Amino acid sequence: MIIAEMKPIEEILDMIRSYQRILIVGCKGCVAVCSTGGPKEVSVLGSLLRIARKKEGRDIVIDEESLDRQCEPEFVDLAGDKVADADAVLSLACGAGVQMFAERFQDKVVLPGCNTTFLGVTEELGVWSERCAGCGNCILDKTAGLCPIARCSKQLLNGPCGGSMNGKCEISKDVDCVWQLIIDRLTRLNRLEMLEEIFPVKDWSPAGHGGPRKMVREDLKT
Amino acid sequence: MKSGSNLERLLESGQFSVTAEAGPPKGTSSKVVQRKGELLKLCCDALNVTDNQTAIVRMSSLSGCVLLKEMGVEPVLQMVVRDRNRLALQSDILGAAALGIRNVLCLSGDHQKFGNHPTAKGVYDIDSIQFIQMVKNMRDEHKFLNGEDISGDVPFFIGAAANPFADPFEFRVIRLAKKVAAGADFIQTQGVFDMPKFIEWMKMVRDRGLDEKTHILAGLIPIKSVGMARYMRNNVSGLSVPKEIVDRMADAREPKEEGVKICLESIEQLKEVDGIHGIHIMAVAWEDIVSRIVEEAGLMPRPVV
């Protein structure tokens, strides 16, 4: 899923400083699952902002809404009435959701309440970590199901570098060396010889370096 | 001859070679580079000019190499893939060839997080092994990475790094094999303190016959103080400093002398290791000790081939 974290409250307060009527819109997709931008977080943020603005002596009217998904126009459009009443919309969706909102409501100020951080998994309650860089050309078949593009700090395809120590990456003792994990796994699978071949240079154009990406499925278009 | 460099001639003729590191300044003074060149030119066969080492911005490696070359000292151009994509790497290789640089050391580079611009965007378009392969192809096939022709020669003696002390240990020799297969003519290793581990690694290297295919120069880092020993042990990733070394430095009445002694003992042991063709001395901020070490190791005068 897409992982996001809420922006610091001070930054959000600064963003909405000049507005009196705010609509906070959550998303029940990924950001709800990672407890950042779902209905519960919308409600908590609403209370925090009301209290903060009251302390400043500048009351604020905050309306709340949560949509099934903010990355699809049909769902976003459902918020139309509430959007009309607001000076600005504070979206707690990922960056895609924020932009879909801005696209559907061209004359409305739309603000991001979250920082979209990565594509990842839930390791345990309260812990998420990155797994995919969305590079557009999956190589997991060649790397034992562990991605060096997303998980090696240097995106090495012929790792590990000389900074791998005790299974950890040179940048931090809290970061696993994914190449150690790849080697461990291939050793268990008795396939370590796969790494003896030189992995060729990567084509980064599907990774976004070929310009903004788009997918069109003619068979699904109406 | 692939490059005609002094380092290549010496290593190919079977001479035990000596290289050292000459880091460029955090500024514009050509004198800093020239002073290091003066200090090291008689005791070394070639000098490595580091490339934004530890991700700290310094004068460019290529400029440092040119400054050394102008004074008759042979440089080794260090290049990291952290700061340049395939276009910039190839373009700098062409420029270096045009300027008469004949040795290149292809590296990944320390992560930008360690340096003085930790918020920088790392490039890592290609990795160090792919970089070696690319330079070899430029030299031997006169081809750019995209297959287009290069006009003119690209005569480089291609180097790579090896770190026997990083993990996983068993894979380290495979990684070296890949670098050799990619085209590494010579190897400069991480600083050797843990001699038993290094000797074990070299045995694995010989078992694969890699010492016949590339020239391995063992890295040495002269230690000035117990503080430096501890710092390297605790803070430099991929470096293994055994307790014995730290204790020796802690107990020494004259730490600098002890550091030189440790270094000389290491050289004596390394000379006896089959497949070691030279040493690479990284005396960061202690360049003036190098000539004494080389002299006392019985490696002076440097041979002319």
- Res B238: pLDDT: 85
Indicate the Cα dihedral angle B101, B103, B109, B114, nearest 10°.
-70
In this structure, are residues B184 and B133 in contact, taking their beta carbons and an 8 Å threshold? no
Q: How far is B237 from chain A (nearest CA, A)?
A: 5
Confidence of residue A130 (pLDDT cuts 50, 70, 90): very high
Q: What is the pLDDT of residue B305?
A: 85
Inter-chain touch A164–B127, beta carbons under 8 Å: no
Mean pLDDT of all residues belonging to chain A: 97
Residue among A163, A201, A204 minimizing CB distance to B130: A201
**pLDDT on residue B207:** 98
Contacts of A165 in chain B (CB under 8 A): 166-167, 237-238
Please indicate whether, in this complex, the C-beta atoms of A154 and B134 are within 8 angstroms of each other.
no
Q: Do B167 and A163 touch (CB under 8 A)?
A: no
Which residues of chain B carry a pLDDT beneath 70? none
Closest CA in chain A for residue B112: A171
**pLDDT the model gives residue B168:** 96
Structure token digits, residue B22? 């000459």
Instruction: Enter the ipTM.
Output: 0.95
Is A222 a residue whose pLDDT tops 90? no
The domains of chain A are located at: 2-118, 133-207
SS3 content of chain A, % helix, strand, coil (to 5): 35, 25, 45
CB pairs under 8 A between A and B: 93
Q: Which long-range contacts (CB under 8 A, 24 or more apart) does A190-194 make?
A: A191/A144, A192/B174, A194/A142, A194/A144
Q: Is B130 in Cβ contact with A162 (below 8 Å)?
A: no
Q: Contact, B174 vs A196, CB < 8 A?
A: yes
Cβ separation B166–A163 shorter than 8 A: yes
Q: What is the pLDDT of residue B9?
A: 98
B6-296 CATH pick, 1.10.10.10, 3.20.20.220, 3.60.20.10, 3.90.1210.10: 3.20.20.220
% residues pLDDT > 70 (chain A): 100
In chain B, what are the domain boundaries? 6-296
Mutation pick from B169, B175, B240 vs chain A, by most beta carbons of A within 10 Å, is B175
The Cα–Cα gap between A181 and A17 comes to: 47
> What's the pLDDT at A203?
98
Q: What is the mean pLDDT of residues A132-144?
A: 97
Inspect the interface and report whether the beta carbons of B237 and A154 lie closer than 8 Å.
no
Sort out which chain B residues have CB atoms less than 8 A from A159's CB and list them. 127
Instruction: Tell me what the mean pLDDT of segment A122-147 comes to.
Output: 97
pTM: 0.96
Q: Yes or no: say if A46 and A114 are a contact pair by the CB < 8 Å rule.
A: no
pLDDT at B237: 80
Reference B216, options B176, B188, B181; nearest CA is B188
In the structure, what pLDDT confidence band is assigned to residue A69 with cuts at 50, 70 and 90? Answer: very high
Q: How far is B254 from chain A (nearest CA, A)?
A: 32
> A2-118 belongs to which homologous superfamily?
Response regulator (3.40.50.2300)
Question: What would the pLDDT profile of B130-166 be if each residue is shown by its tens digit?
Answer: 999 999 999 999 999 999 999 999 999 999 999 999 9
Best of A149, A156, A174 to substitute, by most chain B Cβ atoms within 10 angstroms, is: A156
Is B168 in contact with A160 (Cβ distance < 8 A)?
A: yes
